[in-house]
Amino acid sequence: MNESEMRELLTRHGQTQVLRWWEELDEASRAGLMEQIGQIEWDKIVPHPEDGRRGRIQPIEGLTKEEIAARKEQFFAVGSEAIRAGKAAAVLLAGGQGTRLGSDAPKGAYDIGLTHPHYIFEQLILNLQEVTKACGASIPLLIMTSDKNDAETRTFFEQHAYFGYPREDIFFFRQAMAPCVDLEGKILLEDKARLALSPNGNGGWYTSLVRAGLTEKMDARGVEWYNVFAVDNVLQRICDPVFLGATIASGKASGAKVVRKAEPHERVGVLCLEDGLPGVIEYYELSEEMANLRGADGSLVYSFGVILNYLFRADVLKSIADQRLPLHAAKKKIPYLAPDGTFVRPEEENGYKFETLILDMIKYAKTCLPFEVVREKEFAPIKNKTGTDSVETARELLKRNGVEL
């Protein structure tokens, strides 16, 4: 792209304000800004009219805790055999900014220890090592970072000797960034020569993996299943052989770990069918009637809360990569360079970040196995410093599960 092409592009999209300081910039800064502009995926900063439209919602059948307990050995045998055959990879989503936790460092570098340092990343590695030991196999661990935390994350792992995980089985990759816009949809600048960017959401994990050349590497290793999970649930089982075995045995192309909702209005997304395809409906999208609907046995009908631990079969991911995922706009306080040249850290929300979400990928997998887990044993998310889903609640749950902090 040359300068006139760039100007034409910005004019077409009504975004020429990003060149406000162009005349002042030196050659290198101009080249940097032009590169950022060239990388903008324009359909990712303008919501589509269909985004957010919901179809006909129905409950989905899933495997209950009791059914899983009764067939645990069978599922374990199938799953552990697949792991030994090198068919599973773990994908750690660590590209988020963790703003609610209020630490500038990568969320996984957060120390949750009490008597000794004990980091979130460390706990996740311990959880994964339980499986590699039980199966006597190695599992590649793919760690997604963003421009905001990539260097720090890599350094952190290096400084801690990868917490004893084999270095050759760890692969870092960086997710793409998306421009932030003001309330009128105009792209904001971070400084005179740089756009204000933020990570483009966890729905971009697979395309970022492809771009990093890692799917080819995983194909070469014979990987057929990706277990994708959030950085902040310190109790989760990673590449759980029972989950993997059950999903393989079901013949479905994806699987989702779920917990029973604690109460009708719990703030978790619910796995359901939407127009006959599996999908996740957010808690605020469930009608009052649906949230409270109970079956013949008195239990909630829409009760499978997702915990961001999914399995995807590699072959369907390749087709999902061609789909446009819906855009979710989040109103945020975005620091920016004002037209008068002053840098502003707003007190109020002043713009939007756009994200695609992994939960929207399930629909494109076409089939999904809901797999119920015991909440107290597998769900301890750290979103906040205190209160609900916090460092405090996660510590308590870890202790109850025998982890010394």
List Cα–Cα distances, 302 to 270, 358, 375, in angstroms. Answer: 7, 20, 16
Which residues in the 348-387 window bind ligand UTP by CB under 6 A? 355, 383
Q: What are phi and psi of 71, to 5 degrees?
A: -115, 20
Sign of the alpha-carbon dihedral angle for 124, 130, 133, 135:
negative
Nearest Cα neighbor of 203 from 233, 239, 230 is 230
Nearest to 129 by CA among 96, 83, 94, 71: 83
Residue 393 near ligand UTP by CB under 6 A: no
Does 209 sit near ligand UTP (CB under 6 A)?
no
Residue 230 near ligand UTP by CB under 6 A: yes
Q: Give the span between the Cα atoms of 374 and 376, in whole angstroms.
A: 6
Total residues in contact with ligand UTP, by rule CB under 6 A: 21
The answer to whether 90 touches 142, Cβ cutoff 8 Å, is: yes
* Closest CB to ligand UTP among residues 100, 186: 100
Q: Exposed, middle or buried: residue 227 (CB in 10 Å: 0-12, 13-18, 19+)?
A: buried
Least distance CB 238 / ligand UTP (angstroms): 13
Amino acid at position 238, single letter: I
**388 is a contact residue toward ligand UTP (CB under 6 A):** no
Residue 311 CB, nearest approach to ligand UTP (Å): 16
Pick one of 59, 62, 79, 95: the residue that binds ligand UTP (CB under 6 A): 95
One of 39, 99, 388, 401 touching ligand UTP (CB under 6 A): 99
* Region binding ligand UTP by CB under 6 A among candidate stretches 56-64, 67-75, 229-237, 390-398: 229-237
- 227 contributes a contact to ligand UTP by CB under 6 A: no
Nearer to ligand UTP, 93 or 258 (CB): 93
* Maximum alpha-carbon separation in the chain: 71
Of residues 90 and 230, the one with the C-beta less far from ligand UTP: 230
Smaller CB separation from ligand UTP, 232 or 372: 232
Phi-psi region of 275 (alpha: psi -120 to 50; beta: other; left: phi over 0): left
Q: For residue 375, what are the CA distances in angstroms to 305, 326, 371?
A: 10, 29, 12
36 binding ligand UTP? (CB under 6 A): no
Q: Which is nearer to ligand UTP, 210 or 249 (CB)?
A: 210
87/174 with CB nearer ligand UTP = 174
Give me the residues that bind ligand UTP (CB under 6 A), please: 93-100, 107, 144, 175, 199-202, 230-232, 308, 355, 383
